Amino acid sequence: MCSRFRASISCSQAAGKGGNIMALDILFQPIQIGTLELPNRVLMTTIKLGYGTPQGDVTDRHIAFYVRRAEGGVGLITTEPMYINPNGRELPTQLGIHEDRLVEGLRRLVDAVHGAGGRIMAHINHAGRAANPKLVPEGERVSASDVFCPANGVVPRPLSLAEIPDYIGYFAEAARRVRKAGFDAIEIPFSHGYLIHQFLSPHTNRRDDEYGGPLENRLRFGREVIAAVREEVGQGFPIVVRMNAKDYVDGGLDLEDAEALAPLLEQMGVNALSITSGTMCESVPYCLYPIGTPKAHLLPMAARIRSQVSIPIAVAGRIRTPDVAREALEQGQADWIGLGRPFLADPDWVRKTQAGDEVAILRCAACHQGCLAELRKGHGTSCLFNPMTGREAEVKITPVKKPRRIMVVGGGPGGMEAAIIAAQRGHRVTLYERDDRLGGRFREAAQVPYKEEFFDLIRYQRVQLQRTGVEVRLNTPVTPEVVDAAKPDAVVVATGA
């Protein structure tokens, strides 16, 4: 590592501190991205939240969510995609960065994250043909070419040569607002089938002008965006590009294309690359990685891309556990590990890992029930496993002044969570379960093929029951006589449907 720029501490510096840099947990070695030094190798990737106003404003819900992840020790937090123009929106309550009036709210967000000891990167985007047709009128749905998007039924219109400078300008103006708000870095997606990627991919770019045809032309729009953004943010300010290792689309970009693209981005002055895959029109599972999709399968592809450049490479995609993350770094597959939904399940993933308390991590199962299904319903992102996600501003677990004796009836996930929270508040809690095991009907869900990861919730809750001092009584049906004998101050009935 010390022979390459990627380690932000040199070998001599490490020796001067009285130790070998490799003696540190590799996840917690610092890394330099442009002028920004980060304390660890863990990146929170962009996740759509839907916590904003219809006008794109930051809310207290946003701030509380991101502050909680900063408190958990994330090295660099990435915002949800912020739209640079209303015709590039995906969600009705998505964050915007298309107007100067939004800077004040964004600055409040940045200041709050900094106050919690964190660093935050702005992800700016235009969805192009992947924009939400319920939010964008037909004539304003734009792309490189008029290629149908099967995910939303949109046939966009191609941007004219006269319009292209306007859209480059939208990115530049957004970058100016990023700097004004005080963000630590900026991320631009050349990925996931969004507007820049629509120019880059031969599947979506059928143009016959200077923006279509060979790679040099298809990259022209993205190159001009990077140049315009650099002019606004200044030299040294970190620009990260999120790029696909593979599109998983017939006629789209493949790994060889990614290997060719990466050094070109480095030559443009991009400071780091974040590797992902898929498009939001044709290959959504390879963007979102639902349960049953391969775990960490982008690592070998990231390694090949990494071999083509000298700037840091981040990689994401179903990297659930610290051991997989460490192994990727140790084997040189990446310099930086991206996690998204794992931070919905457990905002303290980093802190627990650093403390060697990995058994206490609540692992994401990629079920997408809270972070996708609820988002699509307009409720904002939540988490099936973590009831606090998205409610950080409204729910606080505070100590009680007068502890009570609490009886919880039912040892499924709901009963266990009620018992854990009551105990965390200081109550004396006894949990009763008529079966010989905890988990309730949720165990049946975990027995379905590809859903074995659901067992992680039961495993996590067992650890928390033990740590919070909850007394667990298995094989104990609760009758009126049992309640009378226990004499609880309160009974929580969590017996399910």
- Just list the catalytic residues: 194
328: its two tokens: 């990727």
Helix 255-267 vs helix 299-306: angle between axes, to the nearest 10 degrees?
A: 40
List the structure tokens of 225. 């965006």
Closest-CA residue to 310 (of 12, 3, 104, 5):
5
Q: Is the distance from CB of 221 to CB of 169 less than 8 angstroms?
A: no
Q: What is d(CA 369, CA 453) in angstroms, rounded to the nearest whole number?
A: 14
d(CA 242, CA 189): 5
Measured torsion, CA atoms of residues 144, 145, 146, 152, in degrees rounded to the nearest 10: -40
Question: Considering just the CA atoms, what is the radius of gyration of the chain in Å?
Answer: 24
Nearest to 495 by CA among 482, 474, 481, 478: 478
Question: Which has the closest alpha carbon to 457: 408, 384, 407, 389?
Answer: 384
Residue (of 171, 186, 182, 178) closest to 78 by Cα position = 186
Burial tier of 162 (Cβ tally within 10 Å: 0-12, 13-18, 19+):
exposed
Which residues neighbour 213 within 8 Å (Cβ) at sequence distance 6 or greater?
207
Q: State phi, psi for 23 to the nearest 5 degrees.
A: -75, -20
Q: Which helix (H) or strand (E) segment is 342 a member of? A: helix 342-345
Q: Burial-class residue 181 by CB neighbours within 10 Å (0-12, 13-18, 19+).
A: buried
The type of residue at 177 is R
Torsion of CA 156, 161, 162, 168, to 10 degrees: 80
In 3D space, the residue among 69, 73, 75, 113 whose CA is nearest the CA of residue 345 turns out to be 69
- Of 393, 388, 300, residue with least CA distance to 343: 388
d(CA 221, CA 268): 13
The one-letter amino acid code at 294 reads P
Distance in angstroms (rounded) separating the CA atoms of residues 381 and 64: 13
